[in-house]
A and B are shown apart, each in its own frame.
Chain A
Amino acid sequence: MPEEKALNGTKQNTEPASPLSGLAPMTKNQVMDIAMDLGKILLKSGAETSRVEDTMMRFCRSYGYYDLNVFCTPTVIILGDESPRGKSRVFRVRWRATDLGLIMDINELSYNFRRWKLDYAGAKRWLQGRLALSHPYGNTAVCLASGFGSACFAMLLGSASIYNFVAAFLTGFIAMALLKMVNSFHPTPFWENFLAGLSIGIVAQTCCLLYPYCTLENITVGALMPFLPGLAFTNGVRDYMAGDLLSGNSRIAEAGLFALSIAIGLAFALKVWDWGGLP
């Protein structure tokens, strides 16, 4: 391996430094590389900012590089070197998705790095292998889950009946399927949520028109639930508590904006329905 040749005879190899005992040697550049990868994956799969910063810092410090510092907001990661002639790295995050499994596995890696004895190439390979397995549920499963979740919520809100269950299932399923269809055009989050609200309003009212035993309120609220920004809200609050005020503010603002755009879409559907003179 080329890295081993470069490291022969350096201070790191000859000195039995106690904190590095279980670790394969890595240069500072390589450590920054892996730390940046961990941060990117975590932030892109929807982890809180404090978790991203904590994981990256713990990784850098476990190699003894105490002069690397991380600054992270929901849209950018900056890994800076405090030492003179140090280089820094910046990564701009534009698209974020949610993948709890990836967060769990990266967390496991960052706690077990010492035990698994991964070197640079091994860590890269592990990360690539894990990334290939990300997003285990396909579009069909996600749409079905959205429909099922909506249906269960509609039953939770009182006046439980099988009609509400079926109608809410249809509404949630159709809204999520529509989002997955327009996903390839990369709409901005505002238009995505607007479309979700619009389709929920139209489908729910159609269900109520076709079958008068359905409750419009329950169906709509149940179908709205998968699109409410619960993750952004929870993460924002946790960021506040961890002291990352900037990320907390922006996450809460994101949650508010998303909720507002769903409400605008839904209101648009209801108003248009009214103007059309339909019941």
Chain B
Amino acid sequence: MMHYLMAFAFAFFATVAFGVLFQGPKRILWRSGLIGGLGWIIFIGLKEGFSVHSFSANFLATVVIALASELFARIWKEPTTVFEVPAIIPLVPGLGMYKGMNYILQDYVSYGSEVLLGAAVDSCAIALGIMMVSGVLRALKTGNDMARQRQQDLLGTAVPPDLYVTDPEEEK
């Protein structure tokens, strides 16, 4: 329990530090910190507690982070990216990248490339998580908007006459 509390605290502060690094205003720092801590706890809980494969753990943690930031974005009327970008950072597989590069430098090329490939797979899991959540929510949110835009793309400039405004400068 102590282990998880400490992990949460460090992930929280790391995310807050990243919020400062990305020049986020003060009112979103603790919110993105909460999401980052939550994502990291889920990641290590799945990986260490339930010994889930790191691909699935990364994927599920990213899905939770993306959903939580969509929720926060709805609550506080801010763009989703603002919460998501700092909160995703703790999951980035920096350790795998460093280890793989280090092994390759020491001429253990096959083992190094194995580790590097693992890191690449983990980042693919993160990408997949972001893609799925943002794709589904985009479809839900902007379905009407997209339909209108598709109609407009088909019609070109032929918009309803009451919506069309002529430029006053052009009439002169």
Which residues of A are at the interface with B, using a C-beta cutoff of 8 A? 6-7, 10-12, 17-20, 27-29, 45-48, 51, 63-67, 82-83, 85, 97-104, 107-108, 111, 134-137, 141-142, 145-146, 148-149, 152-153, 155-157, 160, 217, 220-221, 224-226, 228, 230-231, 233-235, 237-238, 240-242, 259, 263, 266-267, 270-271
Contact = CB atoms under 8 A, between A and B. Distances in A.
Given A66-B157, A226-B21, A237 B130 contact: yes
Contacts of B159: 66
Contacts of A259: 97
B101 A266 contact: yes
A166 to B, nearest CB: 15
Given A18-B162, A226-B21, 18 more contacts: A11-B168, A17-B165, A28-B170, A46-B22, A51-B79, A66-B157, A83-B157, A99-B22, A104-B25, A145-B17, A153-B94, A217-B99, A228-B94, A230-B85, A233-B123, A235-B81, A241-B130, A266-B101
A111 B10 CA distance: 36
A152 B134 contact: no
B98 interface: yes
Contacts of A102: 23
A28 B20 CA distance: 38
10 contacts: A10-B171, A63-B165, A66-B152, A148-B13, A149-B13, A224-B98, A225-B94, A241-B131, A241-B134, A241-B138
B81 A155 contact: no
Contacts of A108: 77
The binding surface of chain B is classed by DSSP as helix
Q: Kindly state the interface size class of chain B when it binds its partner.
A: 35 or more
A228 B17 CA distance: 14
Nearest to A28: B167
B6 A160 contact: yes
A135 B135 CA distance: 31
Query: Which are the 7 A-B pairs with shortest beta-carbon distances?
Result: A149-B17, A64-B165, A152-B14, A145-B20, A28-B167, A10-B168, A100-B24
Contact of B14 (A6, A11, A149): A149
B13 to A, nearest CB: 5
Contacts of A153: 10, 14, 90, 94
Contacts of A220: 98
B5 interface: no
